[in-house]
Structure 1
Amino acid sequence: MQGLSASLVLIAALAVVAPIAVRLLDPVIKVPIVVFEILLGILLGPSLLGWIQSTPFTDTLADFGLAMLFFVAGNEIDFTAIRGRPIKRASAGWVISLAAGVGAGFVLAPAPEAAVIIGVALCSTALGTLLPIIRDAGESKSPTGIAVAALGAVGEFGPLIAISLFFTGKQVGTASAVLLGFVLLTGVAIFYASRAKHTLFHAQVTRTLHTSSQFAMRSIMLILSSLVVLSMVLGLDMLLGAFAAGVLWQVIIARAPEVDRRVIETKIDAVAFGFLVPVFFIDTGIDFDLGALTSSPATLALVPLFLVLLVVIRGLPSLLAAPRGSTRAAKRSLMLFGATGLPIIVAVTTIGREHGFITSGISSALVGAGMLSVLLFPLLALRQLQHKEGRLPNLPHPLESSPPQAHQAHDGDLPPSDASPTGGN
């Protein structure tokens, strides 16, 4: 009990220290807060100081944090903007990335399960990380920004499908049937939710928005937990249910009064990025096996190798989603944005490590490459966009701002959040 209490207090302390430290270091080096949270977990975890140990309770909180991160990602996607050519081209690029990633996996780890783990990790894109960055750059409605949103949507949803197909313990045919059933159920729910007016529901949301009843947030928790549990009962990955829950909530609340939607988005941010998501990333650092990563020069060399593979395997196929007439600078930025990944990498390597499909060294190398991709690629991509437009926008620190809806909703009425991971995926 004493160890659990100490771990909880230290994790909470790190969640407070991370945004302060990021802000202090900002004039010297720009470190995305999710990377800083993981690094702090590594520093105080068993790999270095040994002050914090993972416990079943903190691991459970971290699972909630990961689910909430994917709920937010599903809630943020603007499907009307990415439908048609952007999503079709992004999907084609992702299929190429998956095939190339699995091929690279077989070269690095001949076991089929390990190859698929590596392939899924290398074909992911951190949607939750990219959307706030694109919005802060003033590119969210531009052709490039829409292409990045499409890449991120496919780069998070596609890997979740792959995880559900290959790592549920079922035969691929059975897993495909179960997955199809889940997609149909959620598709029907989303369809009917989009057709209904939800007048009574929205009225109840408005009445309780500033009371202890908090009907909107309780409804979100119900939808999220229901779809997560449904996905788990069906033997699918829980993140698929969390992602679907975010999409469903977006449809349900779409016709609510705009002022109510703004307040709800702020509350979602508070629960996700003020509490659960930081626990997930800090816990990832605590579980990070630094010893396995540094056990040999060959294992350590996998980090830059995986970083290059993210650009080649995920970045290059992302060029298929480039809008017509894109400049070379815009295409380079799209390639770098597409190659940015971390949440899916953490999730899939955790599955691989727990089931013995991959070694701790490979898992740590993939996560390390993911951290570097979040640290480097968005900043380099923004430089390309600035070069393309001949301007230098006044950008807040990447990953230190609220998700798009919250920021757009308040337009300066609220102070910028320093707790957003993205978020993300």
Structure 2
Amino acid sequence: MAEPYILELLFILVAAWIGGMLAKRIGFPPILGELFIGIILGPALLGLLETSAAVDSLAQLGIVFLMAYIGMEINFKDLGKASWPGLLAAIGGFIVPFALGYYTIIAFDGTQMAAVFVGIAVGVTSLATKSRILVDLKLLDTRIAYVLMAGALISDTLALVIFAGIIGFVDVGSVNAGALSLVAGKAILFFIATTLIGIYFFPILGKLLSKVKSLVRTFHFTVMLIIVLGFSELAEIAGLHGILGAFMAGLFMREGVFSRQVFKDVTIVFHDVAIGFLAPIFFVTAGFNVSLEVFETNLLLLILVILGAVVGKILGTALFYLPSGYGWREGITIGTGMNGRGAVEIIIAGIGLQLGIISTEIFSILVFMAIATTLTVPFFLTWTTNWLRKKGKLVKQKSRTGYLILGANPLAVYMAKHLGENSEVVLIDANKDLVNEANEQGIKAIQGNGLKEETLQAADANTKNVFIALTGNNEINLLTAQLAHNSFYIPNKIVLISPGSNGAGTHLLDAMGASSLFANKTDLSPWIYKISAGEFEEHQEEVDLTIHTRDWVKNRGLDNGILPIIIVDESGQKRPFHFGDSIYANEKIIYLI
């Protein structure tokens, strides 16, 4: 007969999978589904699930791993793209809701410590929530995307620093100069020690690991676990919580220990263990601690906390954002994007409940606040970004420009000549002769395997705004597009799909937010021959009414010998013709026959 905790774990994981899957299907982060399923199946409603000491231990390990993974996802280089406006958004989006949350609890006769804890919880924001929504709304190449990401990272880091002080203060248990000095001294020593280890020791460790070629991924994963747990223990020794150590470990492991490819491979495994196994246990069991009685006994407080969180986040962000010079409309838009809460807020609230700083009622209010605010993000952000578009205020981020094209065949070179009139274009091809020929025609081309990161790195993929896969091999096109998406975060991916491909190609395009080149499945070979032999004609057609690219293709039939390659706007700017675009009135289409 199975041990009771094994059955509990089985049921919790099944519940987490169901809740997360349903939430994801309707466009929300899995965390919300896991919380909901915990509330529904736990003691709050049906009472079908319960926890145990063994399951609780796994849940605590889950939040440590999750915070480490959040640290791994942070790239400080990205913060430089919008550091000043991001800092303004983070400060305003944290201070104002923090103050509203704090004074709301004080007004209801709560303790100062509980009020500070609630203030932190309503001040944080959810990076994971926005990442998915930014992709869905096609905002990754806009300025607000970089400001949102920077603001979220700064806001959560600020919350964790304040949280560290509170945890140390709780452990000391008294208010005097000596106690405060002890807390501050231990915290400072912790941050100094972890920073020195990360900056000086990790690179040495990385060099030693790189010299041993026989090491397998399992060994690297073990090293990652040791570092995370070691840093977590350092935080505990310093009187802080282990999640602070895990977060710092994740930050420094990203750059210091492993090579780019090894880090990518090991992070995938770490993600699966943390996000797929351990973290869901924490979020489902967190739902067990929610009490629905707050809707009867503390409904007014619940409403005020949610209103303070929403209004404080949006107005606070907009107000503090004004010195950026980017306008109050953009400030409100960023505020609506930062309104969602998530992992960090629930983790902080859960620890507060464990330590007795906040009551079950306050914890329940914070959970419902996280759910309510996260639900608003897709609707508010969609409305405000459309508002910016109509006003002509949605600014593209200029830190990424130009095109990276896989393929140096005659059609790729032909397109590159058009696109190169307005932007930098770089071609990649393994064929030395094609590369040399492209360079002779004045198009920058690099010889190399497009499936290798070093090739894309040599082509400055980190700076490119659009990736185009233009070879006759569907598999290579899709795999290289995935590499451009996963490793170099190129926001726009356009992939040639040939007629012989099956439905999997379209599915993969959707998964990475990519679009099909020429808005139709296209056989590359005939066009390469026509261009090479000079047996083609270039034509232009101006559009009177706005039409989707796919409809333009359909209106001309699928087998009419026409290949639309470029769209030219009224200012003369050129862009590739692809499925995920529309042709607006007075724009022109360049096509070949």
Shorter chain as normaliser: what TM range? 0.7 to 0.9
Name whichever of 260-269 and 280-289 sits farther off.
Answer: 260-269
Aligned to 1:377: 377
Aligned to 2:161: 161
Q: Give the aligned CA root-mean-square deviation in angstroms.
A: 3.2
Aligned to 1:108: 108
Aligned to 2:486: 408
Aligned to 1:394: none
**CA deviation after TM superposition for structure 1 residue 384, in Å:** 2.2
Residue 486 of structure 2 aligns to which amino acid in structure 1?
Q
- Alignment of 1:33 with 2:30, yes or no, is yes
Aligned to 1:283: 285
SS in structure 1 of the partner of residue 487 of structure 2: helix
Name whichever of 236-245 and 145-154 sits farther off.
Answer: 145-154
2: CA distance between counterparts of 1:129 and 1:106?
30
2: CA distance between counterparts of 1:321 and 1:194?
37
SS in structure 2 of the partner of residue 358 of structure 1: coil
Residue 5 of structure 1 aligns to which amino acid in structure 2?
I
Q: Is the 8 A contact 1:160 1:237 kept in 2?
A: no
Aligned to 1:188: 196
2: CA distance between counterparts of 1:382 and 1:204?
50
Q: Is the 8 A contact 2:125 2:342 kept in 1?
A: yes
Change (3 A) 1:135 1:20: closer
2: CA distance between counterparts of 1:198 and 1:132?
32
**CA deviation after TM superposition for structure 1 residue 40, in Å:** 0.7
- Alignment of 1:364 with 2:364, yes or no, is yes
Q: Is the 8 A contact 1:126 1:340 kept in 2?
A: yes
**CA deviation after TM superposition for structure 1 residue 344, in Å:** 3.2
Aligned to 1:340: 340
Residue 3 of structure 1 aligns to which amino acid in structure 2?
P
- Alignment of 1:68 with 2:45, yes or no, is no
Aligned to 2:313: 314
The structure with the largest alpha-carbon Rg is 2
1: CA distance between counterparts of 2:213 and 2:127?
28
Q: Is the 8 A contact 1:72 1:246 kept in 2?
A: yes
Deviations 1:379-413, CA, capped at 9 Å, x for gaps: 4214422443469xxxxxxxxxxxx9995239887
2: CA distance between counterparts of 1:336 and 1:110?
29
Aligned to 1:234: 238
2: CA distance between counterparts of 1:20 and 1:13?
11
Change (3 A) 1:203 1:141: farther
Deviations 1:70-119, CA, capped at 9 Å, x for gaps: 11211112212214424543454334554454333322334211211221
Name whichever of 39-48 and 81-90 sits farther off.
Answer: 81-90
**CA deviation after TM superposition for structure 1 residue 224, in Å:** 0.7
Change (3 A) 1:350 1:195: closer
1: CA distance between counterparts of 2:139 and 2:263?
22
**CA deviation after TM superposition for structure 1 residue 338, in Å:** 2.3
1: CA distance between counterparts of 2:210 and 2:18?
38
Aligned to 2:143: 143
Aligned to 1:223: 227
Deviations 1:14-47, CA, capped at 9 Å, x for gaps: 1332344346x63xxx443211111111111111
**CA deviation after TM superposition for structure 1 residue 329, in Å:** 4.6
Q: Is the 8 A contact 1:61 1:276 kept in 2?
A: yes
**CA deviation after TM superposition for structure 1 residue 181, in Å:** 0.8
Aligned to 2:44: 47
Aligned to 2:182: 174
Greater share of residues in strand: 2
SS in structure 2 of the partner of residue 294 of structure 1: helix
Residue 188 of structure 1 aligns to which amino acid in structure 2?
L
Name whichever of 240-249 and 102-111 sits farther off.
Answer: 102-111
Name whichever of 312-321 and 158-167 sits farther off.
Answer: 312-321
Change (3 A) 1:50 1:3: farther
Q: Is the 8 A contact 1:147 1:322 kept in 2?
A: no
Which structure has more RCO (C-alpha within 8 Å, separation ≥ 6)? 1
SS in structure 1 of the partner of residue 50 of structure 2: coil
Change (3 A) 1:195 1:7: closer
SS in structure 2 of the partner of residue 167 of structure 1: helix
Aligned to 2:75: 78
2: CA distance between counterparts of 1:350 and 1:405?
37
Deviations 1:211-233, CA, capped at 9 Å, x for gaps: xxx12211211111011111012
Greater share of residues in helix: 1
Change (3 A) 1:48 1:141: same
2: CA distance between counterparts of 1:406 and 1:245?
26
Normalised to the residue count of structure 2, the TM-score between the two structures is: 0.60
Name whichever of 57-66 and 407-416 sits farther off.
Answer: 407-416
